[in-house]
Amino acid sequence: MSDLSSPSSPAPSPTGKPPLLEVRDLKVEFADADSVVHAVNGVSYTLNEGETLGIVGESGSGKSVHVLAMLRLIPMPPGRLAGGQVLFEGRDLLTLSDAELRKVRGGSIGFVFQDPMSSLNPSMTVGRQIMEPLQLHLGMGADAARKRAVELMDMVRLPDAARRIDQFPHEFSGGQRQRIMIAMGLSCRPKLLIADEATTALDVTVQADVIELVKELKREIGMAVIWITHDLGVVAGIADTVQVMYAGRVMERGPVDDVFRDPRSAYTLGLLRSLPDLSAPIGQRRRLTQIDGAPPDMRAPPPGDPFAPRNRYATPRCFTEQPPLVQPPGAAPGHLAAAWYDLPALIAAETTP
Ligand SMILES: Nc1ncnc2c1ncn2[C@@H]1O[C@H](COP(=O)(O)OP(=O)(O)O)[C@@H](O)[C@H]1O
Ligand SMILES: [Mg+2]
């Protein structure tokens, strides 16, 4: 078992520095009168300074809940932290005082979530909304904050910023509002940017622009990024590391190229095989195969590998015992998977007559 898989011994960064972020065995539940939804079931990973982590997985796999829980943005109740630690620069965000947490959130950690219309305040000019974190976190005066807000709007390529800074959110298009959210997320030059489906609602060209912008900013300010998306193509374009989540767990994780070329979890393979065939002419690009079946009912998660009921490669053990997240034999360094079966061997056996 590789020590990379152990939550207590995180992957050292190439520079030998401790990781920027270390999530340890995070568990989040939602309780109502007669049931408990086990939304996040022991997620552990590390993120180094400057690293970009792409997180993928079907809807409902716990991607949003786990980052919201890290930032303590889950309403409790109905939410409940069932365990874990989230060490950011060595301090556990889950036990910081509210005052300390506010300094981190929107300060050294910026975030951009889907749906800018509900995240932006409709009755406040965009300028004031961009200025607010600058005044709160960086202690800037109004004039300096306003000047910086114009620069930020220029940076996310919102034209005519000096004039438009005094407009309200509804005066901008959806794509422009998302850029405003990104400007706010980046305003304090965070060490970590968390983006959850931040470009999903945008059309393809605007999406490509925003991704280019985030890459530029990464080069410029060296921030780390957690980029959550259901789009594997976006992950291939932006991320160093990809993490595949299912049923509130990490199923596979590793360098993007290794995971995409040599998947070790049948769930990852299913996601990759469900991509449209890009070699076909536009208009004839069909999804090759869908993953049959539905995710488990998270009120009663299965005892073993949660993907087993949908996995034609599953062994009896998959149904009874949870596989640990470890480096499979022959996988690249840092490539981890939670699987009792040997996927490359099973695929080879299928294709050999
Ligand atoms: N406020 C809530 N109350 C009850 N269940 C919730 C709540 N928010 C999320 N969940 C459940 O938590 C699980 C994970 O959701 P989420 O993290 O939003 O998935 P995704 O991977 O699509 O972002 C889902 O089963 C979802 O139904
Ligand atoms: Mg989500």
pLDDT digits (tens, 9 = 90+) for 152-180: 898 888 889 999 999 999 999 888 888 89
Q: DSSP letters of 269-298?
A: HHHHHTSB-TTSPTT---BS-PPPS----T
- Pair 78, 67: CB distance under 8 Å: no
At 280, is the pLDDT very low, low, confident or very high (cuts 50, 70, 90)?
low
- Considering only CA atoms, which residue is closest to atom 11 of ligand 1? 39
State the ligand closest to the CA atom of 299: 1
User: Cβ of 268: how many Cβ atoms within 10 Å?
Assistant: 27
| Protein residues within 5 Å, CB atom, of ion ligand 2 | 63-64
How many residues are given for the chain?
353
Q: DSSP letters of 122-157?
A: TTS-HHHHHHHHHHHHH---HHHHHHHHHHHHHHTT
How large a percentage of the chain has pLDDT more than 90? 65
pLDDT for 281 equals 60
Q: Which residue among 27, 43, 64, 245 is best mutated to probe the pocket of ligand 1, counting the most ligand atoms within 8 A of its Cβ?
A: 64
Residue 85 has pLDDT above 80, yes or no: yes
Mean of per-residue pLDDT scores for the chain = 89
pLDDT for 233 equals 86
d(CA 42, CA 268): 19
Name the 3-class secondary structure at 80: strand
At 134, is the pLDDT very low, low, confident or very high (cuts 50, 70, 90)?
very high
pLDDT for 175 equals 81
Q: Which two tokens stand for residue 29?
A: 């539940």
- For 285-336, what is each residue's pLDDT tens digit? 555 567 889 999 999 999 999 999 999 999 999 999 999 999 999 999 999 9
pLDDT for 264 equals 98
Residue 116 has pLDDT above 80, yes or no: no
**Ligand 1 pocket residue status of 60, Cβ below 6 Å:** yes
Q: Is the peptide bond before 77 cis (omega within 30 degrees of 0)?
A: yes
Q: At what angle do helices 126-138 and 142-155 cross, to 10 degrees?
A: 120
pLDDT for 6 equals 44
Of 189-198, 272-281, 289-298, least confident by mean pLDDT is 272-281
At 341, is the pLDDT very low, low, confident or very high (cuts 50, 70, 90)?
very high
Q: Map out the domains of the chain as residue ranges.
A: 263-353
pLDDT for 100 equals 93
Instruction: Specify the pTM.
Output: 0.90
